[in-house]
């Protein structure tokens, strides 16, 4: 009888420890900062959180937007987040300037940037015009094209909205196909193809958004970032096949973030984001960094004086040893 009681107590203790360990796995916190305020651009991450995909792999993911006073880079530098979102060229810039980053998940497979003219002309033929660019975006390609084409644009920095352009305050506007381009269309602005300079059509098809962590974090949390990537991929795949349900989740985040938008725009944004995720060669959603695009981006940035050394695909993916990084 005594042995049975001891066996029962042991069984209860083992069960308790098992349940405790499972519970602890679910509370492994991971803070991720996106590029902007809540919108369909980040739908797959919202879905992964709301559908429990992150919890399934033992992560309690906190998704936070940046602010004008606390950028993604600032939050990573001060360890206020574990991972942050950057464009490929921004990540290369940061790495080349002394902060080692590692890409742990990639969504963008195509470049969405373009310049639009108010006057129905090819923006590159409009010399010394006023070009509005987001103050929070590095605008690497716009600077490169300006230098190469000798357009001598006058840079006008703005924080938000297309009204500066619509009101005639500037001649040209730097936009992306999944956001400002859609807003201009909704506003009824006439944009003939001749008035658009699409970077991807002129030899500048360079990937954009990916998720990055600092190299030290990557080295000590490899299993964690792998699980984050797997769950994020699952979130995006679910989003692609359940777009209206994914939009329900996006709009929840939009409302909580007090973002001024509407479901129509968010639906168009999501459709374009999913299109941009398709590899230009295979047409498939591959969630990977392309070595050829890293090479092109690094070459362009070094050639135009933005960085003073090459950043390789191996370095970007954390495949080099730390000592090899320091030699660069």
pLDDT tens digits, one per residue of 175-217: 999 999 999 999 999 999 999 999 999 999 999 999 999 999 9
φ, ψ dihedrals at 42, nearest 5°:
-115, 20
Q: Which two tokens stand for residue 85?
A: 């979102």
pLDDT(19) > 50: no
Residue 6 lies in a domain: no
* End residue of a domain, out of 167, 202, 237: 202
Q: What is the pTM of this model?
A: 0.89
Q: Write down the mean pLDDT value for the chain.
A: 91
Claim to verify: residue 215 and residue 314 sit in the same structural domain: yes
How do strand 154-158 and strand 130-134 relate by DSSP bridges? Answer: parallel
Please check the confidence at residue 16 and state whether its pLDDT lies above 70: no
Instruction: Please check whether residues 236 and 317 belong to one and the same domain.
Output: yes
151, part of any domain: yes
Same domain, 258 and 307: yes
User: Does residue 106 belong to any structural domain of this protein?
Assistant: yes
Q: State the residue range of the domain holding 258.
A: 26-110+207-327
Whether residue 101 is found in the same domain as residue 240 = yes
Same domain, yes or no: 119 and 174:
yes
What does the pLDDT average to over 4-27? 46
- CATH code of the domain containing 277: 3.40.190.10
Quick one: 87 and 231 in the same domain? yes
| Tally of structural domains, the chain | 2
Which whole number is the average pLDDT over 140-158?
94
Write out pLDDT tens, residues 81-118: 999 999 999 999 999 999 999 999 999 999 999 999 99
**305 to each of 158, 203, 299, 315, how far by Cα in Å?**
24, 19, 10, 20
pLDDT the model gives residue 35: 93
Confidence of residue 69 (pLDDT cuts 50, 70, 90): confident
Mark whether 318 and 219 lie in a shared domain.
yes
Q: At what angle do helices 263-276 and 222-241 cross, to 10 degrees?
A: 120
pLDDT, position 134: 86
Residue 9: pLDDT over 90: no
In a domain, 36, yes or no: yes
Q: Which residue has the tokens 């000798």?
A: 150
């Amino acid at each position: 009888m005594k042995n049975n009681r001891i066996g029962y107590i042991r069984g209860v203790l083992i069960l308790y420890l098992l349940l405790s360990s499972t519970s602890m796995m679910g509370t492994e916190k991971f803070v991720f900062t996106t590029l902007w305020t809540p919108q369909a651009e980040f739908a797959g991450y919202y879905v992964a959180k709301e559908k429990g995909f992150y919890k399934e792999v033992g992560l309690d993911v906190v998704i936070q937007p940046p602010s004008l006073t606390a950028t993604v880079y600032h939050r990573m530098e001060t360890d206020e987040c574990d991972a942050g979102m950057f464009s490929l060229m921004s990540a290369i810039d940061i790495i080349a300037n002394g902060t080692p980053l590692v890409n742990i998940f990639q969504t963008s497979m195509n470049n969405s940037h373009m310049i639009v003219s108010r006057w129905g002309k090819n923006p590159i033929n409009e010399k010394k015009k006023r070009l509005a660019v987001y103050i929070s975006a590095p605008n690497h390609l716009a600077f490169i094209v300006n230098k190469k084409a000798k357009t001598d644009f006058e840079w006008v920095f703005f924080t938000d909205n297309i009204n500066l352009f619509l009101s005639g305050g500037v001649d040209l506007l730097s936009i992306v196909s999944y956001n400002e381009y859609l807003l201009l269309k909704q506003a009824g602005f006439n944009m003939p193809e001749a008035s658009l300079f699409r970077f991807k059509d002129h030899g500048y098809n360079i990937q954009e958004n990916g998720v990055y962590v600092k190299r030290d974090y990557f080295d000590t949390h490899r299993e964690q970032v792998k699980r984050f990537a797997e769950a994020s991929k699952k979130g995006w795949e679910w989003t692609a096949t359940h777009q209206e349900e994914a939009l329900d989740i996006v709009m929840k985040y939009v409302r909580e973030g007090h973002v001024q938008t509407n479901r129509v725009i968010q639906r168009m944004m999501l459709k374009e984001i999913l299109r941009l995720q398709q590899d230009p060669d295979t047409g498939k959603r591959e969630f990977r960094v392309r070595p050829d695009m890293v090479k092109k981006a690094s070459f362009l940035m070094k050639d135009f004086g933005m960085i003073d050394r090459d950043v390789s695909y191996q370095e970007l993916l954390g495949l080099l040893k730390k000592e090899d990084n320091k030699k660069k």
